[in-house]
Amino acid sequence: MVEMGWGKRIGSLLTAMALTGMVAACGQVDSPQSTLSATTAQTNSSTDSVGPALTEDQLKLFNETMDQWQRKNDGTLVESMGPTLLEGSTMNVSSKGYHAGDAYEIGVWCMGHGSVKAKWILGDTLSYTTEVQCSPQIGAEDSIFTGDDAKESTMTHTAQDDTMAQVAYRIIKVEDYKSQSDS
């Protein structure tokens, strides 16, 4: 058995501490098992911080919030996306049919920090742009539009500045909608 001197023991201990600190500071080691998706749950169950993946609690909160919004607004789901990690921008093109005179409500949600610019384009004539302030508990924006005949819509989400967030949207057809001018 080889005896180490105190200097070597302290040096080995410091090296081990430094390596442990570097791994902890990096957060996650790249491996096939560490690949994340928007619906992957992390072991941290707090909803206070949002990283590349949502915790089980965050995903549950996100989905419950969207489902409550849809029930409250009594609509039929037309299209949706997310939650998904926003890295720069995302674009979703849908070939769902939209009809003139029908009312549609768009809901956009953002969980994390920063803000997200959302732009929805319906056919060639209608567009809607909003900026959603993200929050650890969920930021949201929504609006109602009467549609034009269109065979396609495009939703684009763009992260503003240093945003780190999960985003989602839903578009519902609003049943029995009465516009302000009809009242």
Average of per-residue pLDDT across 154-170: 91
For 12, phi and psi rounded to 5 degrees?
-65, -40
Q: Lowest mean pLDDT: which of 11-15, 61-65, 117-121, 128-132?
A: 11-15
Q: How far apart are CA 182 and CA 176, in angstroms?
A: 12
Query: For the chain, what is the radius of gyration of the CA atoms?
Result: 23
Assess contact for 121 and 150: CB atoms under 8 A: no
Q: Would you say 97 and 151 are in contact if contact means Cβ atoms under 8 Å apart?
A: yes
Q: How far apart are the first and last CA of the chain?
A: 92
Arithmetic mean of pLDDT, 88-93: 89
**% of the chain residues with pLDDT over 90:** 27
pLDDT higher than 50, residue 168: yes
For every residue of 126-147, DSSP letters joined together read EEEEEEEEPBTT-EEEEEEEE-
Question: Are 156 and 91 contacting, i.e. CB atoms less than 8 angstroms apart?
Answer: yes
Q: For position 160, what pLDDT does the model report?
A: 92
